[in-house]
Amino acid sequence: MSLLNQLFNRGVFGAKCKTSLTLAISRIKLLQNKRDLQLKLMRKEIAQFLQAGQEPIARIRVEHVIREQNMMAAYAILELFCEFVNARIPIIESQRECPTDLREAIASIIFAAPRCSDVPDLLQIKNLFTTKYGKEFVLAAAELRPESGVNRELIEKLSVCAPPVKIRLKVLKDIAQEHNLEWDCSNTEAELTKKHEDLLAGSKQINNGAVPAQAPTKHVSFQLPPSNGTHDITPAESNKEHARLEVPVTDHKTSSHITNEIETSQKSQDAGMLTDLKIETRPQSSEILERARAAIASAERATAAARAAAELAKIQYGMQKS
């Protein structure tokens, strides 16, 4: 029974794999024709930008052209691998392990399946080989393990990295030559090869240890404003304060120290003024307290008189009633 199941599964695997490979080949050919037309239009637009002097736009568009060219090259490689595997389906069915001469083709198809969304048939082929050789074989190809056997050129063509400067310049020159344009590539070459400063890492002068020149020493003098209180400053004290405040200012620390001295002197003056005000206001507050006490006493006497009058009125009312 198991032998019959194996024979039946072999036939099912071969038929499904052959169908998926045939569909993938035909779909790849259609995509190649479609992308070829798009690529010609894109190259024509870049030539127009170069002719109009809009080189920055051309430098951006050329990256899309290079990606399209890489995808077309990847499709060409995949088409060959699919045809090769399709021709060797009987050998794949007869052997339990992956044949050595077919390892590169099968691993490359598995690697390209999730990266070529325009060809969904490759995912079906990947699933068929997963059931045939197991998940470890498929993971080795998908993760590009050392012995996976994926084609190196296919890896480069399906890479998402930005194309090198040399390739971009070469494609721009080819486009200009193809459309018979007299284009000077010196500006574009200088712009592409220019190393831009990394502003996120800070300025180069600071990183290299360059110390800015110190500001010249200045003598700053401060004059305290006249106080409105009773505390007067004598000429001797003002001269002392003025002499103490005339200091050379060279950096932020010294200026902050001077500011602190000014604040402390002002605080001392304010404290003297407050003490004088307290001394002056003490007799006034005592007089207010005495007046308040007298008012309270008079209010108490008035309350007692009102109560006595009320009692007297009650007595008179009772006598009249009787």
Assess whether 57 and 167 both reside in one domain: yes
Contact 36, 72 (CB under 8 A): yes
Assess whether 271 and 157 both reside in one domain: no
| Phi, psi (deg, nearest 5) at residue 117 | -70, -20
pLDDT of residue 287: 77
Q: Round to whole Å and give the CA distance between 61 and 244.
A: 70
Burial class (CB in 10 A: 0-12, 13-18, 19+), 263: exposed
Q: Is residue 43 part of a domain?
A: yes
Q: What is the pTM of this model?
A: 0.58
Assess whether 73 and 180 both reside in one domain: yes
pLDDT of residue 200: 56
CATH label of the domain that carries residue 100: 1.20.1260.60
The token pair at 67 is: 């990606």
Q: Round to whole Å and give the CA distance between 309 and 296.
A: 20
Assess whether 37 and 178 both reside in one domain: yes
Confidence band for 208, pLDDT divided at 50, 70 and 90: low
pLDDT digits (tens, 9 = 90+) for 74-113: 999 999 999 999 999 999 999 989 999 999 999 999 999 9
Assess whether 251 and 146 both reside in one domain: no
The token pair at 63 is: 């990256």
* Dmax (CA) of the chain: 142
Query: Of 174, 193, 212, which closes a domain?
Result: 193
Q: Which residue has the tokens 């200091």?
A: 247
Task: Print the domain residue range for 235.
Answer: 220-313
Assess whether 7 and 136 both reside in one domain: yes
Q: Is residue 118 part of a domain?
A: yes
Assess whether 230 and 268 both reside in one domain: yes
Q: Is residue 204 part of a domain?
A: no
pLDDT digits (tens, 9 = 90+) for 301-317: 888 888 888 888 778 77
Assess whether 254 and 161 both reside in one domain: no
The token pair at 120 is: 């969904």
Assess whether 146 and 265 both reside in one domain: no
Q: Which of 51, 91, 61, 76 is nearest to 176 (CA)?
A: 51
The token pair at 93 is: 């069915």
Assess whether 61 and 180 both reside in one domain: yes
Instruction: Tell me the Ramachandran region of residue 104: left when phi exceeds 0, alpha when psi lies from -120 to 50, beta otherwise.
Output: alpha
Assess whether 164 and 281 both reside in one domain: no
Q: Is residue 152 part of a domain?
A: yes
Q: Is residue 16 part of a domain?
A: yes
Contact 13, 128 (CB under 8 A): yes
Task: Tally the C-alpha atoms within 13 A of residue 57's C-alpha that lie toward its C-beta.
Answer: 12
pLDDT of residue 269: 56
pLDDT of residue 124: 95
**Number of domains within the chain:** 2
pLDDT of residue 255: 47
Assess whether 160 and 30 both reside in one domain: yes
